[in-house]
Structure 1
Amino acid sequence: MSRTRSALTSALAVNRRTVLAATGAAAVSAGVGYALRPTDSQAATTTGTAAQGAPVAQSRQAPAVPLAPYTRGTTVATVAAARTASGFRRLGDGPGWERVVRSELAAPKAGRAGRRTALAAFVQLTDLHLIDAQHPLRLEYLRSADVHAWRPQEALTVHGAIALVERINALRGAPVTGTPLHFAMTTGDNTDNNAKSELEWFLKVMSGGRVIANTGDPRQYEGVQNSGIKQYWQPGTTARDADKQRGFPHLDGFLAAAIRELNSPGLNLPWYSTVGNHDSMPLGCYASHGDSWLTEYAVGGKKLMSLPAAEAKKLQDAIKKAKDPRGVGFRDLLKAHARDMRSVTPDERRAPFTPREYVRAHLDPAYRGLGPVGHGYSTANLDAGTQYYSFRIAEDVIGISLDTTDAGGHYEGSVGTAQMKWLDKTLKDNKDSYAVVFSHHTSKSMDNTRPDPARPGERRHTGAEVVTLLGRHRGVLAWVNGHIHRNEITPHAVGNGRSFWEISTASHVDYPQLARVVELVDNKDGTISLFTTCVESSAPHRTDFADLSQTGLSALYRELSYNAPGGRTDLAGTTGDRNTELVLKKG
């Protein structure tokens, strides 16, 4: 049995670093256990004057007695797997994934399991992509050129997210060390289409509440799945659409069930939020805030549901190659197809939200849940127009949440000079702490250096530059991110004996629909280990087509994603990208 310690100081005590960090900043509001109400995180401002101290926000305090290691409810025990070989493949319980020790950055030393002490443990959720499946701006019609451009499971994203919350709530602690989980972090693309409806659903799923994943007509679904268009799965009819020809079932009542009221218990631990490109821009790629025509189209009563393959291919290529970052060509295409649109019920809730509205929504007391206030964001972010911040994870570990979206358009990312300077300063000011950095984009997907319209004179920096910056600080242990919808763990050896791990986790919209537990431990032998353990949602692996309950639909969400036409089969990554022990030298 490994020896573990509480990752925070004992009840009623406020750790020394937090008190020092609060000097000259906001006062710390301390509490005990679930009653802990952290103050605003240390957000960046345009001048930097409010970010002179170290982070002041804390995550949940841990009970004094650690839990025992366990595997139940994790992918170490079992993983959904196909139990039929062809057609529409049904899922069941499959063998778990082994834990792989990775030693590219340091050699693991014998006996470390008996010496180690826990530093912190948390859960990462990423790329939930909560989808308003009836939204007029959605690009389902790209399926005429790319079968994967629309997913048959898209009406069930909220069901799947709630089941993931239920799984996290049921975890007994960190699987390897047994230490309590201190917080959860969502690393962006929490919404799919930058719609206010999706943002409300996300905040209710995370903090708890009742959700109706439906916009437009409150009595019925209005979208591509009851359009009669055969390139989409039409679950409520016997029509031989393209997906039924692949074996997809006929399910009477599916659409009515999909828009019924749901209930989320909310996470039973504090949670933080990182912004992604789909949270920042319509369709995750268009810098079209302020385009009144597109805004009116988003909330209006017309929706384009089909497009010839040649035009769909041209639009998809323009998105992939960032030929139309402001969405001007997209707007012109919609205008040109006005006569081809179908009538839907208008709904103001489908309006796009701005970055400022995103931050303000997180600060709304209605969505506090177990905190912290703002879920990392603060009034300082509102004042400065920023979406990055830092917070204290444990007595000797800080967290840093970056904004890697490029407001100039396109789905790949970068960061501005002001944020790079703030990141460097935050790490310097906390040189005696370990650091975990969170972002949406990976280092390899940060190659979009288009200027930010709000800061046209500011240089943008790539992921490679961020890697170099992080490598200058000995306390950086990990960079945790998403965006690529694939499990991928990358070692970064950056010279002077300094190194860190980049941990990218698969999405929860595409199979295998995972989240990840990360544990930080000191091996007391000159090395640190980071344990990563993937978890699925609480939905049963086996589905029942007759079960259209909330639980039944969350199971179907997984099975539909497994069978999605054109879906990639490599998103789970290799064994070394899933359940791991990542070893590195102390800086």
Structure 2
Amino acid sequence: MSRLRSVATAAAAATTVNRRTLLAATGAVSLSAGIGYALRPGSAQAAAAPTDVPTAVSASSRQAPPAPLAPYERGTTLSTVSAPRSGAPGYRRLGDGPAWKRLVRSDLAAPRSGRTERRTALAAFVQFTDLHIVDVQHPLRYEYLRSQTASAWRPQEALSVAGAISLVERVNALRGAPATGAPLHFVMTTGDNTDNNARSELEWFLKAMSGGRITPNTGAPRRYEGVQNSGLKLYWQPDDALRDADKQLGFPHIDGFLEAAIREVRSPGLNLPWYSTVGNHDALPGGCYAPGDSFFADFAVGGRKLMSLPEAQGAALWKNVKKGGDPKGQVFKEVLKSEARRMRSVTPDESRAPFTPAEYLKAHLDPAHTGPGPFGHGYTAANLAAGTQYYSFRIADDVLGISLDTTDPGGHYEGSLGTAQLKWLERTLKAHKDEYVIVFSHHTSKTMRNLNPDPGRAGEARHGGDEVLTLLGRHRNVLAWVNGHSHKNKITPHGTFWEISTASHIDFPQLARVIELVDNHDGTISLFTTLIESAAPHATDFADLSQTGLAALYRELSFNAPGARSTLSGTPGDRNTELVLKKA
């Protein structure tokens, strides 16, 4: 069994001595069980050189499981994974499938024998990504582009809140870190927490994470007003006898589905501290249009919703979006104006208004959403004053976390960094050269190709993924870059560190990832990655419309969604792994 550090509070202050060398030599470094410190960002433009002075209230988590701590598999994909019960065509029911075993990857360093007995745990945490909490009745949603892209509308979307709560329940039930048994330190969400930059979705996300009662409904108080009772064959009409396109593929008729989907649910909230990273769907209306246009703000809260569009017009619109040809949404605006007569009347609702970056920060800083902490979930008043959404925070005594904002305010769903943030990142890495670093962002290195200028920072250049990779590669203390956006499991070696990209929780497979950092005491470090599903059972019952039953159905519908990619689970080397790398 691996040796584990005792649970203790984080070190109170830095010294001028090389902290990592000293602490490793004396054995004095302890794994912090849920103690999170946000380090103050600040400078004229973004964030000052980091300091070890904590600026956020520390957060305590649940007590660690009683000793002895030990590796385990139950409740993870090391034990079982949801899988179809038959290979027959059409709608397939899910059940318990074979486990995904752990694979050792030696791309960056050779694993050495005996490391299991020598190793000590440095940190352990959970990554959520691409939760896409959806207000499915929102007027600005473009479901009518479903024929062009499966991401425009999914049959399971109305159950996103129930699915997210079930994922919270899974994390709460974990005994600790699967590979080492060490206490879990925190949860990090790597963006696209919401789907359409709507205040309603932000409120639901924060309550799902920190606890509370959620009614996932906007508009009419007791009536669904979206595409799933429109009578249009383009969408699954669960309560209707209509032979829509999805029912022709085997999707079920479920009486009471829509009523259940907008019914109040309750989240226990995480019993671990959690941190937040922003994604393009959090920052941009539709996940791709530059914010700030009053037309879109008015349309979002208004009483008209477009539910269908001629095929050719939809194809042209989506082709332009994919190319990044309409970052400000001018073409989209003209489409909405021209289709006014074809729109359905819906109940106006101010809660559907888009939120600004400042409102996003204020919502995280609201004491009502603190839950297990830390206060602000990484963000601080300094972020609010500077207009930034990036920060660093203390993971453990000698491990620093860095959360980046890779969204581009100039529009488009791919990302980049502004010069001020890139310089802050470099300063932070230099200032903490004697500590290990884990970087978090929404976008992957390959999806940071959008260099549209930021309208709020005139003249500032934007920097893509290749530049970020080069910068991180110059700092040997960087162990991993953890991200999402692609909705696909992918683990990529980059010379001296690993890029860990994780599948979403809206498309199948709906996964989160536990990541553990250990010192093998043989000149190598290992990062263990273990995928987890929500707590909902793999098998579903169409008659069970309870909160748990809806979460199970959320998963099964996502598996069967027409057009869904079958490659999102990745290869075995992208799932449950031990990633070995040389110690700096």
TM-score (norm 2): 0.94
Q: Is the 8 A contact 2:39 2:52 kept in 1?
A: no
Q: CA deviation at 1:55?
A: 6.5
Partner of 2:575 in structure 1? 578
Asked if 1:211 corresponds to 2:214, the answer is yes
1:524 lines up with 2:521 in the alignment: yes
1:164 shift after superposition: 0.2
Post-superposition Cα deviations, 1:49-87, rounded to whole Å, max 9, x if no partner, equal: 754424736665775956211000000000000002222
Question: In 1, Cα distance between the equivalents of 2:578 and 2:102?
Answer: 7
- The 5 Å alignment of 1:46-85 reads 46-47=44-45, 50-54=48-52, 56=54, 60=60, 63=64, 65=67, 67-85=69-87
Give the structure 2 partner of residue 133 of structure 1: 136
Partner of 1:42: 40
Q: Does 1:533 align with 2:530?
A: yes
In the alignment, is residue 158 of structure 1 matched against residue 155 of structure 2? no
8 Å CA contact 1:487–1:577 kept in 2: the answer is yes
Match of 2:505 in 1: 508
Residue 315 of structure 1: SS of its match in structure 2?
helix
Residues 414 and 35 of structure 1, relative CA distance in 2, 3 Å threshold: closer
SS in 1 for 2:445: coil
What aligned pairs does 1:236-385 form with structure 2 within 5 A after superposition?
236-289=239-292, 291-385=293-387
Q: Shift of residue 42 of structure 1?
A: 2.3
Q: Structure 2 matches for 1:99-138, cutoff 5 A?
A: 99-138=102-141
User: Distance between the aligned counterparts of 1:326 and 1:301, measured in 2?
Assistant: 23
AA matched with 1:301: G
State the 1:3 CA deviation: 1.1
Distance change >3 Å, CA 172–CA 396, structure 1 → 2: same
CA-to-partner distance for each residue in 1:214-271, whole Å, 9 max, x for gaps? 0000111100000000110000011100000000000000000000000000000000
Deviation at 1:400, TM superposition (A): 0.2
SS at match of 2:491: strand
Q: Does the CA contact (< 8 Å) of 1:60 and 1:183 recur in 2?
A: no
SS in structure 2 at match of 1:517: strand
Q: Distance in 1 between matches of 2:34 and 2:177?
A: 21
Residue 474 of structure 1 deviates from its aligned partner by: 1.5
Tell me by how many angstroms 1:471 deviates. Answer: 1.0
TM-score by length of 1: 0.94
**Which whole-Å deviations, capped at 9, do the CAs of 1:145-170 have from their partners, x for residues lacking one?**
44553110010000100000000000
CA contact (8 A) 2:46 2:424 kept: yes
d(CA) in 1 for partners of 2:159 and 2:67?
39
Matches of 1:49 and 1:517 in 2, distance apart?
29
Q: For the structure 1 residues 181 and 433, does the alpha-carbon distance in structure 2 shift closer, same or farther, using more than 3 Å as the test? A: same
| CA deviation after TM superposition for structure 1 residue 17, in Å | 2.8
State how far apart, in whole Å, the 1-side matches of 2:367 and 2:16 are. 25
- Report the AA paired with residue 131 of structure 2: L
Superposed, 1:430-445 pairs within 5 Å as: 430-445=432-447
Matching residue's letter, 1:223: G
Determine the structure 1 residue equivalent to 2:421: 419
- Whether the 8 Å CA contact 2:39–2:51 is kept in 1: the answer is no
Letter in 1 for 2:177: A
Query: Unpaired runs of 5+ in structure 2?
Result: 18-30
Q: Which residue of the partner structure matches residue 483 of structure 2? A: 481
- Match of 1:400, SS state, is strand
Q: What secondary structure, in the 3-state scheme, does the structure 1 residue paired with 2:468 have?
A: helix
Q: Deviation at 1:456?
A: 2.0
Per-residue deviation, 1:39? 5.6
CA 1:55 to 1:436, structure 2 compared with 1: closer, same or farther past 3 Å? farther
Equivalents in 2 of 1:14, 1:464: separation in Å?
35
Structure-1 residue corresponding to 2:27: none
Q: Write the letter of the residue equivalent to 2:444.
A: T
User: 2-side partners of 1:186 and 1:55: how far apart?
Assistant: 24
